């Protein structure tokens, strides 16, 4: 997979894991980086000492939802204005698998 850096530590963490299992994904990331799990929870949720919106009480408690939210459409064709051209350019490459809809998709969410 990553032949240019085969001996480097690698953590495989998918977008779906970050979105659906955020707290567990952040714990895995903290463990990989050698950080305490509380640090990952505080940085992802805005908790912890001195962070904006922590009410001065610091971290603690259960896992809070992430303080960031997704800002792009769920469908790739809605996010890329020239989806067809980009999709066709990647056909036949190892990256073609990332295009989850056919290149000739007319995306109803995109304004013409």
The predicted model gives 102-106 an average pLDDT of 85
Percent of the chain at pLDDT > 70 equals: 62
Query: 19 φ, ψ to 5°?
Result: -80, -45
Which pLDDT band, with edges at 50, 70 and 90, does 69 fall under? confident
Task: Give pLDDT, residue 90.
Answer: 92
Which pLDDT band, with edges at 50, 70 and 90, does 89 fall under? very high
Which pair of structure tokens corresponds to residue 49?
Answer: 């000492």
CB 58 within 8 A of CB 35: no
- pTM strictly above 0.85: no
Q: Which residue has the higher pLDDT, 64 or 107?
A: 107
């Amino acid at each position: 997979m990553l032949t240019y850096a085969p001996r480097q530590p690698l953590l495989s963490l998918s977008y779906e894991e970050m979105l659906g299992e955020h707290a567990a994904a952040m714990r895995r990331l903290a463990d990989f980086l050698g950080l305490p799990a509380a640090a990952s929870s505080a940085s992802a949720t805005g908790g912890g000492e001195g962070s904006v919106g922590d009410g001065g009480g610091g971290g603690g408690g259960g896992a809070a939802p992430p303080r960031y939210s997704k800002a792009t459409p769920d469908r790739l064709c809605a996010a890329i204005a020239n989806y067809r051209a980009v999709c066709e350019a990647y056909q036949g490459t190892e990256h073609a698998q990332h295009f989850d809809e056919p290149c000739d998709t007319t995306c109803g969410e995109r304004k013409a």
